[in-house]
Structure 1
Amino acid sequence: MVAAVRVHKHGGPEVLTFEDIEVAAPGQGQIRIKQYACGVNFIDTYFRIGMYPSPVGLPFVSGNEGAGEVVAVGPGVTDIKVGDRVAYVTALGGYAEERLLPADRAVKIPDNISYEQAAGMMLKGMTAQYLVNRTYKVTKGSTVLMHAAAGGVGQILCQWANHLGATVIGTVGSKEKGEIAKANGCRHVIYYRDEDFPTRVKEITDGKLCDVVYDGIGKTTFPASLDCIRPLGMFASFGSASGQIDAFNINILQTKGSLFATRPTLNNYVAKREDLLATANDLFNVIASGAVKIPINQKYALKDAQQAHRDLESRETTGSSILVP
């Protein structure tokens, strides 16, 4: 028996129950890992409240990200062995002392990256990787707007875009978060509670606006985000922290300047194993270079998952949060 955090019914953080579960021996193509850290992400709250359906139904073990040591391998697994250090992003099962995992979703961790770092960066870091390299390719001279610039993805993306030569504008909710955003490569900070962010973007850019808006907030920043984008620019909505964006008349994209809009998700960008490995290795390399650092700003015991969710949803957190089994 191993300790885990399960959801038996959809609801608030109180539905996260700390209990013992059985973990089977790994089957065909699976590995079993002893986890040293589990990532906490907004997507975990979407599964908890039922916004995203659980692929296994109820109950399910919460969590989508983690890192640990391989303790057993199933039949057919050839490129991962017992003792390997691995990390992953995959659907559910993350908040546990041990878990089974499809071997083709596991990525070996370089020696220079700790378990805690890996658990705090796989989902957020690979999200930042595809957003700046594939969804909209950021280059020297690009101007980008990052909502929630002091958040988990925000801090990584601001550093990465700055490293690529972009001018980064970020929105934050407090002076403290503004300082964090600036320290992570955000050249211009907008305090969305006190300022109208489209007006400030127009001022900052002398009316030229941004090439791309990266938005993990959703409902409360739409459609105002579209007023921050130059003609033929990109709106990348990758999260729904304030609620989902309702259906909208697609003609609005034409009236705002023939804009492109996309709702990307990491699963599609790393569906092929070669893409998963390329994305993860690019992330590992940019961290090894020192250009991007992964701030683990909140650590909780596994049994305190409820508090981790409360803090995340109340915007009390910055950077990455992890659970430690």
Structure 2
Amino acid sequence: MYAIQMKDYGDVDVLVSVQVPLPKLKPKQVLLKQHAVAIDPYDVGFRAGLKGREKVPPLVAGSSAAGEIVQVGEAVTEFKVGERVAASPHLRCYAEYVAIGQSQLAHIPQNVTYQQAVACALGVQTAYQIVHDELKLTEKERVLIHGGSGSVGFAAIQFARQYHPKEIYTTASGKGAIFLRQFDKQLQVIDYRGEDFKNVVPPVDKIIDTIGGQNLKDSLAVLKPNGKLISTVSDDADTRVQLYFLKSKGKKLEAVLNQVSTGSFYVKIAESAPFTVTNLRKFHQTKHAVGKLVLTFD
């Protein structure tokens, strides 16, 4: 099968076209014929070696999948050949076929496209788990969401709105800030290139940090003493801080896709293109896209 392999850690030139054997299924896995794969910040950081270098190249990276089941393992009980599914396995997705465990799989509703589904697999699923399982927002609370036009940030804004908090503050810049102001006029959007959020945001109860580093430390200045900060990138000795990693679960992703199906959640696709090494390299180099970058196999 055709795949794009990462021959080493480094810049986009390490991504190369290869032919590799079809994956061999384990008993609880399905074989997925890919229709779409998304480019997430995690994938870009992994290729650059910023997420650790424990995995030994060459390897096939990419952590989102959406397609059709063409084979099932002998112990698979919840899925069958021909079904449309999406998932966020760790790596192996820059390929025509992917073997994925059934616990990570989500059925795609009929009125949801492969591109929409794969755009939700990693970042949106992460935001869903943070907001619904960890944040525990109430109507009396204020929340600050950093990186509001990014994958996790924009999804977190939409999920947070479902809890009707007192106020939602978010940071963005340029086109991202303009998009967010148009998307929801009640959002308190801070363009960080012209404003320091510490001078604008009142004390808040909850913070979602997708930036890390100094941004996290600065955020503690506006977090209430009994508040909670959840970061997807950094940890801190402050006991109010929790570092969060996605626990890829099909049932969680399916709940997200059902919201897409009913119109409760909006998926923004920034750009899509055919699955080629040239397009993958281009998307890995794209900065500040407003919406998801998706490669298609159709």
Q: Return the TM-score normalized by structure 1.
A: 0.84
- Specify the alignment match of 2:258 in structure 1: 285
Distance in 1 between residues matched to 2:121 and 2:140, nearest whole Å:
27
In the alignment, structure 1 residue 264 sits paired with structure 2 residue 244: yes
- 1:120-269 alignment runs, 5 A limit: 120-166=119-165, 167-174=167-174, 176-185=175-184, 187-202=187-202, 209-239=203-233, 245=234, 250=237, 253=238, 260-267=240-247
Equivalent residue of 1:75, what SS? coil
1:274-298 deviation digits (Å, cap 9, x = unpaired): xx24422331333233222111112
* Structure 1 gap segments, 5+ residues each: 203-208, 240-244, 254-258, 271-275
Distance in 1 between residues matched to 2:179 and 2:204, nearest whole Å:
22
- Specify the alignment match of 2:280 in structure 1: 305
Alpha-carbon contact 1:212-1:233 (below 8 Å) kept: yes
Alpha-carbon contact 1:29-1:75 (below 8 Å) kept: yes
Distance 1:306 1:319, change over 3 A: same
Q: CA deviation at 1:46?
A: 2.5
What is the letter of the counterpart of residue 114 of structure 1? T
In the alignment, structure 1 residue 93 sits paired with structure 2 residue 87: no
Q: CA deviation at 1:48?
A: 0.9
Distance in 2 between residues matched to 1:292 and 1:140, nearest whole Å:
20
Distance 1:164 1:287, change over 3 A: farther
Alpha-carbon contact 1:158-1:181 (below 8 Å) kept: no
In the alignment, structure 1 residue 31 sits paired with structure 2 residue 30: yes
Distance 1:55 1:114, change over 3 A: farther
Moved more, 134-143 or 48-57: 48-57
Q: CA deviation at 1:34?
A: 0.8
Equivalent residue of 1:125, what SS? helix
Q: CA deviation at 1:27?
A: 3.3
Distance in 1 between residues matched to 2:250 and 2:4, nearest whole Å:
28
- Specify the alignment match of 1:320 in structure 2: 292
- Specify the alignment match of 1:206 in structure 2: none
Alpha-carbon contact 2:105-2:250 (below 8 Å) kept: no
Distance in 2 between residues matched to 1:229 and 1:282, nearest whole Å:
30
Distance in 2 between residues matched to 1:285 and 1:24, nearest whole Å:
29
What is the letter of the counterpart of residue 291 of structure 2? G
Distance in 1 between residues matched to 2:137 and 2:291, nearest whole Å:
22
Distance 1:184 1:156, change over 3 A: farther
Alpha-carbon contact 2:109-2:261 (below 8 Å) kept: no
What is the letter of the counterpart of residue 242 of structure 2? T
Distance 1:82 1:182, change over 3 A: same
Distance in 1 between residues matched to 2:161 and 2:179, nearest whole Å:
14
Alpha-carbon contact 2:271-2:293 (below 8 Å) kept: yes
What is the letter of the counterpart of residue 38 of structure 1? V
Q: CA deviation at 1:55?
A: 6.5
Equivalent residue of 1:134, what SS? helix
CA RMSD for the aligned pairs? 1.9
What is the letter of the counterpart of residue 162 of structure 2? H
Alpha-carbon contact 2:87-2:253 (below 8 Å) kept: no
What is the letter of the counterpart of residue 182 of structure 2? A
- 1:11-30 alignment runs, 5 A limit: 11-30=10-29
1:58-102 deviation digits (Å, cap 9, x = unpaired): 111110011000011122222211101111011101111212222
What is the letter of the counterpart of residue 320 of structure 1? K
Distance 1:79 1:54, change over 3 A: farther
What is the letter of the counterpart of residue 96 of structure 2? E
Alpha-carbon contact 1:213-1:228 (below 8 Å) kept: no
What is the letter of the counterpart of residue 261 of structure 2? A
Q: CA deviation at 1:142?
A: 2.4
Distance 1:145 1:222, change over 3 A: same
Q: CA deviation at 1:45?
A: 1.8
Distance in 1 between residues matched to 2:143 and 2:257, nearest whole Å:
23
Distance in 1 between residues matched to 2:95 and 2:123, nearest whole Å:
20
* Structure 2 gap segments, 5+ residues each: none
Distance 1:324 1:282, change over 3 A: same
Distance 1:110 1:5, change over 3 A: same
Q: CA deviation at 1:178?
A: 1.3
| Equivalences, count | 293
Equivalent residue of 1:266, what SS? coil
Alpha-carbon contact 1:63-1:93 (below 8 Å) kept: yes
